[in-house]
Structure 1
């Protein structure tokens, strides 16, 4: 075999390895999570299979549930039967207890929340696990390490759970969503992202090229 032919074969091998493998890895690793704008607050929707790998003890029939939405908020205001100005003011200006709202969705979020603004974000499996570990750490647990249910949530297949952290203006449901995204490796603003609309604007600015990683 000539030296020239050997060089061409080696170059061809290296070129094919570098060009094809990353594309296959990206396709295999890419998952989509969703941020939902409910008006005053935002929620995070993740496929149920990914959730159950990290978070244990959720009360769902997983044969019916395809996606799970997570929200964190003020304990009294979030669970109130109707809007209360008093509870809203107290939640914003006085540190209060918190809850997790967890909802099982039998269909994709764009069908379930048809009147909400929704952004899908591609993310690697490892980054998603980092986010789920952050979400899991937001739950309060009892002495047997079980989730503490507080009653039925806002809609079908939803439950309120006791949570960690104190709720106030600068640490609210929307800053919690942004912190979850930061834990997954996304960029963080210098100032807090306090409103649902500001969360959605921030999400839309994430450069797609850095959202998906390969192992």
Structure 2
């Protein structure tokens, strides 16, 4: 295979694996930042944590599944590797080279993220209403849907009260779980470059370096 064909193949694979796409926020003037958002680092993987009421607005089926809970943690990843109870070299290589699809992991958190993930690093930030709207659209677009437009439940999740769902897109070396989290932050209004955010640490470092404080009237209630 010639060099040109290899480059074309890589560009094609990258384009195909780009979903779900960033939802760019509307351009507006300075807005109050009243909506809290969290990212938890689990070593190799970063999870996005959002008050449940916001995601229930965008994906009402979650309220029927989880009931009244304060927070959801959402993660995106390879269909086979993420759902496996134990990762293997074969699953890792399969995820990188020939992924069969993506899943979302939604976990209902019964307490504040810093309490529930007391053993993990949790970064906190705040976003505007405009950022929240585009973030909710990005999260809703991350779920694959059946012919009736409903999200597709798969296996039970890996901790807390959690569930895997069929996801949009395809895992790839340049379209990883952490890049998905970076795309969520980009959708929420952060000037983050998802292409270069391939580790959980890089996302946490970005939030630490670009800390956005909540305005004093921010709603802390879940």
Give the structure-1-normalised TM-score.
Answer: 0.80
What corresponds to 1:62 in structure 2? Answer: 67
Q: Does the 8 Å contact 2:77/2:177 carry over to 1?
A: yes
Q: Which residue of 2 aligns with 1:44?
A: 48
Offset, 1:206: 1.7
How is 1:59-98 mapped onto 2 (pairs within 5 angstroms)?
59-63=64-68, 65-98=69-102
2 CA distance for matches of 1:157 and 1:37? 19
Distance 2:192 2:177 in 1: 16
Q: Do 1:99 and 1:163's aligned partners in 2 also have CA atoms closer than 8 Å?
A: yes
1:102 Cα offset (Å): 0.4
Larger radius of gyration: 1
Matched residue SS, 2:104: strand
d(CA) in 1 for partners of 2:148 and 2:70? 28
Residue 207 of structure 1 and its aligned partner are, at CA, apart by 4.9
Report the equivalent of 2:114: 110
Please identify, of 134-143 and 82-91, the stretch whose mean Cα deviation from structure 2 is larger: 82-91
Contact 1:31 1:124 in 2 (8 A): yes
Deviation at 1:49, TM superposition (A): 1.3
Deviation at 1:130, TM superposition (A): 0.9
What RMSD over aligned residues (CA atoms) do the two structures have, in Å?
Answer: 1.8
The question of whether the paired residues in 2 share the 8 Å contact of 1:75 and 1:96 is answered with yes
Query: Offset of 1:61 from its aligned partner?
Result: 3.7
C-alpha deviations, 1:51-72, integer Å up to 9, x for none?
1111221143433x11001100
Provide, for residues 65-86 of structure 1, a one-character-per-residue CA deviation record: whole Å limited to 9, x for no partner. 1100110000000000112111
Distance 1:105 1:98, change over 3 A: same
- TM-score, structure 2 length as denominator? 0.77
Aligned residue for 1:77, secondary structure, equals: helix
Q: 2: distance between equivalents of 1:148 and 1:94?
A: 22
Structure 2 segments unaligned to the other structure (5+ residues): 1-30, 216-222
Aligned counterpart for 1:122 among listed residues 122, 126, 141: 126
* Aligned mates of 1:40, 1:158 — CA distance in 2: 19
Q: State yes or no: 1:35 paired with 2:35.
A: no
- 2:36 touches 2:125 (CA, 8 Å); kept in 1? yes
